[in-house]
Structure 1
Amino acid sequence: MTAQKARTAQQPPSEQQPPAEQQQAPAEQQARGKGQPRGEGQARTARHPATAAGPGTDRVALATAIRDAVLAVDGVAGLATGGPVEIATLYAGGKIPGVRLGDDLVEVHVRVDAVPMMPLAERIHTAVRDVLERAGAGRPVEVVVDDVDLAALTAPSGR
């Protein structure tokens, strides 16, 4: 005799119904866009800060304004991308190197060609804070000096 295994009448996990308390009426599902093929119903909202409020153009404009303000500070030779992990604000089609625009913190990484560095870092901090305040996007600012242009420091003063 051969032994037969009893088959259970379980549905595959993808077809199982949720418990009755979690089921919604079809009208509620339609209102929320559930049960419809992709491309129909409500659009999905992105959870990434770059796209949470649309294509991220306000975020890009803010990061660009920060970059421009930092580069306008006398003593800033340029923006730096940090160490092995690149510091940048990313957006569809590009990036702004040297500025990381986070929800809770703005990081600015710079190369400098002037000393003393503390007053220079304070001027950079003030420039970034002013841009953020004008945009109504106040948050802490961290200025990191990644590199010093020694050639500019030792060159004859022509400024």
Structure 2
Amino acid sequence: PPPTHFLSSHGSASTNPVAPNELVHDRQIIVKLGDSDGVKRFRTHTPAKITKLAEKARVKGAKEVNGLTMASAIFVAARQLKSGDLSLSLRTVKEAEIMRCYRQVWVKHLWKGSEVRLPSWGVVVHNVNVRSLGIDIVVGIRDRKQRIIKQLLTENLYSWGNDAEIV
């Protein structure tokens, strides 16, 4: 079996490889359970039982799509977070990425209506006040967000080209 961690090797001599303890979060997948019944049900399970259930869901999903890459991944640990979401750990970052790619195939076998949360990162733009964009107010944020995305794409069309995408 592959190692439970690996050292990242960047092509630069100026940066050190990433330590295994820094990769822990990259090996985890967060599953949001669809309803309060799922949260209650999983609260009664031990971490070992949750790991077994995740493994069963993975196996069913792999059989469903004949996915050899998905079949090679293995959940090694699990726990339920205070929010009720599940934190599932795999052996490697690569396996976690494989399971994220096939998320809609296997997660439905774990619990009805559950979904995998994809990691996202905020972007900090130097000298741009959040208030000037109007995204510091929760009400109507979706419309403002779309307007800002459209504006950024339009203003940077020449630099970025037609294929640029902001998610």
By the TM > 0.5 criterion, same fold?
no
Structure (1/2) with the larger strand percentage: 1
Per the normalisation by structure 1, the TM-score is 0.27
Structure (1/2) with the larger helix percentage: 2
| Structure possessing the higher radius of gyration over alpha carbons | 1
